[in-house]
Structure 1
Amino acid sequence: MSYLRYVRLIGTMHVSPKSREEVIRTILNEKPHAVAIELDRARFLAMNENRRMTFEDALRFGRKGLINYALAKVEEKLGEEFGMKPGEEMKAAISAAQALGVPLYLIDEDINVILSKIAAAPGREKLLMALEALGIFLPVRLGEPSDPMAEYRLMMVQFQRRYPYLYRVLVEERNEVMARNLISIVENLRLRGIKKPKVIAVVGLGHKPGIEHILDRAKERRFRSPYWTAGVV
């Protein structure tokens, strides 16, 4: 049997109000033994404290800071377009876990590791990313915006074609990290005497198929991830 029978993944679009509603409804209805979210400790603390990096802060942190600042601004712009701030679905998962009194786990890779990998991207991909990010801020509207959830899968395919290195770093490698952390969570729950643990994980829609594939292929056996980052909040 695979680990997928213990884990239900909710794939969300980080700037979609529909995702927030689905997260709340699913967690409260399913009543899992644990909730896991696509955050690491640094991003979790920053989100709860509503910390926002300024451009001056980014300059002090150098190349990593500027990359982080640019990505945050892109998400902010998308949030304005679709009516929800980035991270609202993660806050909904946190609140739902607290309401049920179940442990909350942070399963994503450390943000500093991710930023280091992004900084090492090929020059072509960095330039293309900068140009496309600039386009997001241009005040051009071509009719009403489409449903972001319906177009997300196509966006991921296009992203993989244009940015093979960044796709591997931002999607595939993080899928592996999060899947291994979820397996460790399941095993920890079983060690506590829960024979059939139920874990709900809230991740970006682009991560859902890859993580499910890894969990489905992983046979039930105990091992610790070399990338272990999950921890009870």
Structure 2
Amino acid sequence: MIILKGVIHGSQRSSREVFELIQRISPKAVGIELCQERLEALLRGPKEGFYSSFTHYFLSKIQELIIERLGGVVGEEFISALRASEEVGARVFPIDLPLYYLLGRLKEVPLREKVSLILELVPRRMELDRDGINQMLYRIRRRSPSIYSIIIEERDEFMARQLMRLEKEYDSVVGVVGIGHLPGISKILKERLRNAEEKDN
């Protein structure tokens, strides 16, 4: 059983909902939308110079566009997941693509394209709900399909595979992912699990 929980990064409400869900379900494993490097950075706290390169800055900026309007804390929803998992005895696993891979892929995108995308997103206001996030993702996809593929589609595929691997080993799994990843991961899981069921018949 895989239960997906979509969150708005930095949202205090999402943090509460994640904590309550894990406590209620009491899964054996929890997968969170972080890689090992970012999980360790979250546990250490803010580190000076972490966004020293433009690519690091670019990766963080889209998330900050949401968080700065919420008054939340970066990674708050994942900290809640860690605390709830500890209380129920669930193991926590980072399920996202490694940071070095994402940085390498984004370096392949022309600088002008990255700057253009940030300049489009920064001045815009948006509602901090599912529709607002979807509108932002639509603008990213329209402005830069290559960046959208890297930061959304490739990660959706990887995280879905990781969750299926955890389900095989632990049976009950909660996946905590950004709300923008929810449709893609859900679609992949439904297709793969349906195919698996057909093969078992």
Q: Please give the range of the TM-score, normalised by the shorter of the 2 chains.
A: 0.7 to 0.9
- Unpaired runs of 5+ in structure 2? none
Q: Does 2:26 match 1:50?
A: no
Task: Map 1:106-125; keep pairs closer than 5 Å.
Answer: 106-125=94-113
CA distance in 1, matches of 2:129, 2:48: 26
- Cα deviations across residues 90-112 of structure 1 (Å, max 9, x unaligned)? 11101111111111111000001
Q: Match for 1:35: what amino acid?
A: V
SS of residue matched to 2:196? coil
Counterpart in 2 of 1:22? 17
CA distance in 2, matches of 1:208, 1:152: 11
Match of 2:160 among 179, 184, 197: 179
CA contact (8 A) 2:65 2:122 kept: no
- Unpaired runs of 5+ in structure 1? 1-5, 59-64, 137-141, 190-196, 222-233
SS of residue matched to 1:200? strand
Task: Map 1:95-174; keep pairs closer than 5 Å.
Answer: 95-132=83-120, 135=123, 146-174=127-155
Task: Give 1:153 deviation, angstroms.
Answer: 1.7
How many residues align structurally? Answer: 195
Cα root mean square deviation, aligned: 2.2
Q: Please, what TM-score do these two structures have when normalized by structure 2?
A: 0.87
Task: Give 1:146 deviation, angstroms.
Answer: 3.6
Structure with greater helix percent: 2
- Cα deviations across residues 25-62 of structure 1 (Å, max 9, x unaligned)? 1111111121110001100011100132428x72xxxx
Task: Give 1:68 deviation, angstroms.
Answer: 0.7
CA contact (8 A) 1:76 1:85 kept: no
**Distance verdict in 2 for CA 1:78–1:154, change over 3 Å:** closer
Counterpart in 2 of 1:81? 69
CA contact (8 A) 1:94 1:104 kept: yes
Q: Does 2:196 match 1:220?
A: yes
Q: Please, what TM-score do these two structures have when normalized by structure 1?
A: 0.76
CA distance in 1, matches of 2:61, 2:92: 27
Q: Match for 2:24: what amino acid?
A: N
**Distance verdict in 2 for CA 1:99–1:110, change over 3 Å:** same
Percent of matched pairs sharing the same residue: 32
Q: Which of the pair has more CA radius of gyration?
A: 1
- Cα deviations across residues 177-199 of structure 1 (Å, max 9, x unaligned)? 0111111111122xxxxxxx221
SS of residue matched to 2:77? helix
SS of residue matched to 2:69? helix
CA contact (8 A) 1:122 1:165 kept: no
CA distance in 2, matches of 1:77, 1:166: 17
Match of 1:66 among 54, 65, 70: 54
Counterpart in 2 of 1:211? 185
SS of residue matched to 1:169? helix
CA distance in 1, matches of 2:14, 2:130: 9
CA contact (8 A) 2:66 2:128 kept: no
